Amino acid sequence: MKTLVLGRLRNLKPKSPVQRYQWEKPGDMIHVDTKQRARFERVGHSITGDRRQGCSRGAGYEKVHVAIDVATRFADVEMIPDEQKATTVGFLARAVG
């Protein structure tokens, strides 16, 4: 038997349906996003389990660029060293191509 939690007014109201956007033709809407990922010089203690090896210093960052076509849900992903205008535009041109 399921217990109803009625202590809050918002629990009495029905939830509104999720609004999703959908485009009919491929290429009409492309979602582009980036994420920063750290690079390391060597494997750290979280992998080896040995804390006596010392710390593993970071070796900079790489940027993960993602482009998703909303109509087809096709995704293109590249690891690029920066987020400069020229490299991002180049990534988008390759993704659309």
Whether residue 88 is contained in a domain is answered as yes
Is the residue at 40 inside a domain? yes
Instruction: Give the pair of three-digit tokens for residue 34.
Output: 């980036």
Given pLDDT bands bounded at 50, 70 and 90, which one contains residue 23? confident
pTM equals 0.63
Share of the chain above pLDDT 90, in %: 28
Q: How many domains does the chain have?
A: 1
Asked whether residue 19 is assigned to any structural domain, the reply reads no
Q: Which of 34, 28, 18 is nearest to 72 (CA)?
A: 28
Q: Is 5 among the domain residues?
A: no
Instruction: Please report whether residue 8 resides in a domain.
Output: no
Domain residues for 75? 29-96
Higher pLDDT, 5 or 34: 34
